[in-house]
Every structure is written in C-alpha cells, then in structure tokens.
Amino acid sequence: MQGYKVAVVGATGAVGQEMIRIVEQRKFPVREMRFVASERSKGKILKFLGEDVEVENLSEFSFRGIDIVLSSPGASVSKEYVPRAVKEGAIVIDNTSAFRMEPDVPLVVPEVNPHAIGKHKGLIANPNCSTIQLVVVLKPIREEAGIKRIVISTYQAASGAGSPAMEELREQTRSSLAGEDVEAKVLPSRIAFNVFPHIDVFLDNGYTKEEMKLVDETRKIMEDDSIRITATAARVPVFIGHSESVNVETEKNLEPAEARKILSEAPGIVVVDEPSKDKYPVPVDSAGMDEVFVGRIRKDESIENGLNLWIVSDNLRKGAALNAVQIAENL
Amino acid sequence: MQGYKVAVVGATGAVGQEMIRIVEQRKFPVREMRFVASERSKGKILKFLGEDVEVENLSEFSFRGIDIVLSSPGASVSKEYVPRAVKEGAIVIDNTSAFRMEPDVPLVVPEVNPHAIGKHKGLIANPNCSTIQLVVVLKPIREEAGIKRIVISTYQAASGAGSPAMEELREQTRSSLAGEDVEAKVLPSRIAFNVFPHIDVFLDNGYTKEEMKLVDETRKIMEDDSIRITATAARVPVFIGHSESVNVETEKNLEPAEARKILSEAPGIVVVDEPSKDKYPVPVDSAGMDEVFVGRIRKDESIENGLNLWIVSDNLRKGAALNAVQIAENL
C-alpha cells in the first residue's frame, strides 16, 4: 500500500483543522490518518476525506509506526510530547515555538530554505505565521539587492491566537454593536473595534515574544545574523489574514518596477499592486488562499536604498498549516 | 459684551460636531455662535450650550463681523470659501488640507509651534489628524536627542473619513456577522473585519496623500526639512482613535527610561507604558480624551540610536477639533 501514516496533533484547533483540510486538498499521499488532541477532545469524531476519524488522547497515543506528525498544540504541549514522538520513530513537523530556535532543529519555509530540511534529526520546526509571509517576500529581494535593515509593523488577525480568539472577536463585536459592555477573556485586551500592540508575552527588553520571533526566526531562516531587524506587532479586529507594513533597506538600489518583476516571478507570491484601480493586498481577500500577497511597493526616499512593502497572507494557511504540509511534501 | 463671534463651518460633520462640543467644554468665550454648512443642511437645528442654533447656508453666509471661523468642510469647499471669509475680516482656522502647505499659512500644533500663529494673514491651518499626534510626541524627543529619520505605520480609525464612514463600519460589520454580503460605498475598500492601506488618494510616487501629509506637514511644523520621514497609512475597523507604530532614529542616544521621563513631563502627553500590567495605549481608551497617549517605548537595537514608540490619540479631538480650538485660544 502506498502513502504515509500521518498523525495530526492538535487536530481540533484552528491550525489543526486547516492542516487536515490542506492534506485533503493537496492530495497528500496518506495511507492512514490519525487525529490526536488533549484528553478533553478524546472520542470526538472528525472527518477526513469523508470518513469518520475518532480523536485520540495525546498522553496515551503511541507514535510507533507513524511516519509524519503534523503538530500544532500549544508550545508547552509540544515541549513535552515531541521528544517522545521522535524517539518512537516519527518525523515531527511542529508548528509551535517550542523548538524553533534550537540550533539542530531546521526552521523551514520551503520557498526560502528547503535545503535545511535534509539536516533534520526527526524534528522540523514550522516558523511563526508573521515570519513566514515576511521571509517569502524578503528572499527574492535579498538575492537581488541584499538586505541591510528591516522595520516591520504588523496588523495581525485574531485567528493567530486560535479559534477561541476568533469567537471572542465575534462576541465582543456583537456586544459592542448592541451597546453592551465588552470583556476581554481570551485575548489580553479588548479586540472589538480596537487595536492593541500585544501579541504573545512581554520580555525583559520591552518587546513581545511575537516581535522577537520576527527578528530571530527571520535571521535563522535567511541564515544571516547580520540583517538588522526591528518589529512592532499589533492585533487588529480581523478574523483571518495578517498584514505587514515592511520598510526594507537594501544593499544595492532596487527600483519598485524591478522589485515587482522579481517578486511576481518568485514562488508562492502574488503581486497585487495597482493603486490606481484600488488594488492592493487586504486580509479578507487573502483568507483561504495559499499565496503571500504583496503590494504598495514604492521607493522610500528617506534613505538611499529603501523600499516600502505591504504584505498580506492567510495566517492559518501559508502562515501555519500549508507551510507544514509543504515541508512534509519536501521530505 | 465680552467674547468672540464664532462661526463653525461644516457644523454638521463629525469634526464640526466635535468642535462645538469642545468650545462648550472648554468654555471658550463666545458672544455669538453661528453654524454654517452646505445647502443640504440649511435650516437644521443644532444645540449650542442648550440653545437652538439654526444651520445657515455657506454660499449665502456673510463673514463680516465674525471674529473666528472654525472650519472643517471638505478641502474643495475650503478652497473656495476661505479666501472670501478672510477678505470679509474673519480669522479662519481651517482643518482641511486645502492651504496647509502654502508658505504664508501657519500650520500649527500649539504644543509644538505656537510661535507660528503670530505670522498669520487671516488664515491658520490645522494639521492632519495623524500628523498632530505624531509631532506632539516627536517634539520633546527632538529637543532632547535630535531626530534623523522616522518610519511610521498607521492604524487609522474610520471616523477619519467622517461620520458616513463610521456608519459604513457599523453597517458592514452587522451584515458580515449576519453572513450577508458586504459592499464598500463610502470607503475605498471593505472595512468590516479588514485592513486596507489606502487613505486619501494615490499620488504619482505610489504614496497616498495621507502618507505624504505625514512627511510634509511634520517637516513644516517642526521647521526642519532635514528630517527624513517615510510612512504607510492603513485604515482599520476602529470607530475613533488613530494608532501609530513609530520608529525613530535620533542623533544622540536616548534611553527608553529617559524618553519616558521627558515625554511624561511634556504638555498634552500621557505615557501609558507598563507592559507587565498589560498597559499600553489603545484607541478605545483614547476616545473622548484630549491627550496624546504614548507607550511601548523601547530601544531599537537594529540601529545605533533607535527607539520604537506606539502613539494613540482621539483623531476627532486632538487630531482635529481640539487642536483647532486650542489655536483659537492662543490667538
């Protein structure tokens, strides 16, 4: 029999659900599909290619015989179970932040550093959603003109914090429109008709962990610690699709027309950049799409070699589930 | 009899309404209040200090005898009527973009360049909302450490495009939650649960007029054309309160603690910067407030002298109406 034995860990979550859909859509060769989650979801029935699959309890699950694990529980859960899964012989593609910065764990975006996959020791990390869409666009720019420095401001969707955060956005918005009080439970601040610069936890240097992921993961994936990066990450009242305002200082001059050309020829990217026709990337258009969308490409006249870009992608697909499945396809 | 004869032009708009409220709240000495708008609103009754005031038609209105005009119609309307009002002897404080960049028209933020008011020839321009909150914060930083370059990304509220845009946000959000189709009529793209990098019209250089206002107005107000500035302006589904992610490169080193100190001592600014207690400025908290809020003050390690800041203010109050009334108070 052909195909792989695949387990999806965190199968009931927003990214897990998207992973299952993408495995189906891309006809990934699956011989056997297993769904794994926390004890709470044990016995739940989910569909795979029209068939019922029962959700199994992670703490009782054996990874012996499993070829590939698509993993997206919380970071603390991954930290605990992944070493066991690797020991039991599975190759784990983990979407959490648990192992991303470990030196012997490849951190992979297939369009950018597919060669890193070969170095895996049973575990490959999937980068953070906001990093993936950034590096897909930075790579062709770096190859053409080199990159000195990047200043990033993000506009991130609620789904980046999981399904409960999406539900919170929906409920808070309803309450707010009805003139009722609004309470933040899942997210750290009110999300309905609001913006807040707080994603993941705050670190001692005043940055959030999300902001430092953009710095550290980008350097690791680009295999270049000399790139200078600073970031501000904010949550906006959007369900799906992260947007990023990115200011890039290149080594050599790169004209916007030339940047448009090389980006439109690069894999996984769609250039949407016709301002005169009101065409630029927006999150609602990115939802459900596989590509990274880039537009508003223009010269930054405040430095010698500068470009401003506007980058949007579906944070659950290319930002998480799709990238993980692409890694599996590359294996 | 004490006080001034005041006319509010554009009295029925979002900013006009806020101007009237602020004149009341700040007990600006008014001897006579006149409300002026387009023909469409003629005869409408609005309140001023509990009394009925009938809205008059701008094209028939005489400015003879009027001391101060608080003006916030569209830029094209201002372009037409302001020269006449000045000729008829009134001092006009205009909130539109019509005359802001004219060399002999002072562009004033009272906390930043009050001395410019004295140079007026009957007309003083009120800067754009996104510029005002920026320069209030940049001024004390510039005085302390000098400013080389600024990279700005904005998260702007629907109210910046007027009351109809706020109504569009409300209606689109309702439709979207009900699973109905959403159509953009007032704003150039869908605003409900979306973000779009398009405020005001696109110019030949690929920037929007809003983005170039941030560049040009900031330089004019700071009286320094050597400051290098680049901006990306985006609309977010927020009713009131613009947020700005601002990266500042200073001439001299400025530690975040020192920046916090000088900002908290500067006029019109409130520092909200206790990340460990989830305290940072957000638009819903700024709505109805007079101050500019700044937080997330941290060192940008990607350059020698860099700071990241998060600046939020009520775009209808400090960003427009309050600033105009403050100019009137300074006159």
Contact of B108 with B132, CB cutoff 8 Å: no
Query: Quick one: residue A211, left, alpha or beta (phi over 0 = left, psi -120 to 50 = alpha)?
Result: alpha
What Rg do the C-alpha atoms of chain B give, in angstroms?
20
How far is residue B190 from each of residues A169, A284, A324, B183, B206, measured CA to CA in Å? 18, 9, 31, 7, 21
Query: CB of A298 within 8 Å of any CB in chain B?
Result: yes
Residue holding tokens 């404080």?
B93
Q: What is the pLDDT of residue B27?
A: 94
Confidence at residue B187, expressed as pLDDT on a 0 to 100 scale: 97
d(CA B26, CA B324): 12
The pTM of the full predicted model, rounded to 2 decimals, is: 0.95
Nearest to A155 among B195, B300, B302 (CB): B195
B264 pairs with which residues across the strands? Answer: none
Asked if A190 reaches chain B (Cβ–Cβ under 8 Å), the answer is yes
Q: What pLDDT was estimated at residue B53?
A: 97
For every one of its 331 residues, what pLDDT tens digit does chain A have, with 9 covering 90 and above? 589 999 999 999 989 999 999 999 999 999 999 999 999 999 999 999 999 999 999 999 999 999 999 999 988 999 999 999 999 999 999 999 999 999 999 999 999 999 999 999 999 999 999 999 999 999 999 999 999 999 999 999 999 999 999 999 999 999 999 999 999 999 999 999 999 999 999 999 999 999 999 999 999 999 999 999 999 999 999 999 999 999 999 999 999 999 999 999 999 999 999 999 999 999 999 999 999 999 999 999 999 999 999 999 999 999 889 999 999 999 8
Looking at residues B253-263, what average pLDDT do you find?
Answer: 98
Chain B interface, best mutation among A194, A226, A299, by max B CB count within 10 A:
A194
Averaged over B13-17, what is the pLDDT?
92
Average pLDDT over all residues of chain B: 96
Whether residue A283 and residue B190 make contact (CB cut-off 8 A), yes or no, is: no
Please say whether the beta carbons of A200 and A160 come within 8 A. Answer: no
- Residue A307's pLDDT is what? 98
Q: Does A296 touch chain B (CB under 8 A)?
A: yes
Which chain A residue has the Cα nearest residue B149? A302
d(C-alpha B34, C-alpha B190), whole Å: 37
Q: Please, what are the domains in chain A?
A: 4-126+321-330 (3.40.50.720), 131-314 (3.30.360.10)
| Structure confidence by residue, pLDDT tens digits, B108-138 | 999 999 999 999 999 999 999 999 999 999 9
Q: Do A237 and B232 touch (CB under 8 A)?
A: no
Contacts A170 to B, Cβ<8 Å:
177
A14-25 helix and A322-330 helix, angle to the nearest 10 degrees:
50
What distance in Å separates residue B78's CA from the closest CA in chain A? 26
More confident residue, B74 or A141: A141
ipTM score of complex: 0.95
- B1, pLDDT greater than 80: no
Per-residue confidence (pLDDT) for residue B319, from 0 to 100: 86
Cβ distance of B206 and A282 shorter than 8 Å: no
- Chain A touched by B173 (CB under 8 Å): yes
List chain A residues with CB under 8 Å of B196: 280, 282
Q: Which residues of A touch B308 (CB under 8 A)?
A: 230, 232
At residue A74, the pLDDT reads 85
Note whether B282 contacts A194, CB cutoff 8 Å: yes
pLDDT band at B74 (very low <50, low <70, confident <90, very high): confident
- pLDDT digit string, tens, across residues B226-254: 999 999 999 999 999 999 999 999 999 99
Model confidence at B2, pLDDT cuts 50, 70, 90, reads confident
A contact test, residue of B130, B194, B199, B303 with most A CBs within 10 A = B194
Q: What is the mean pLDDT of residues B291-301?
A: 98
Close Cβ partners of B188 (under 8 Å, ≥ 6 residues apart): A278, B196, B198
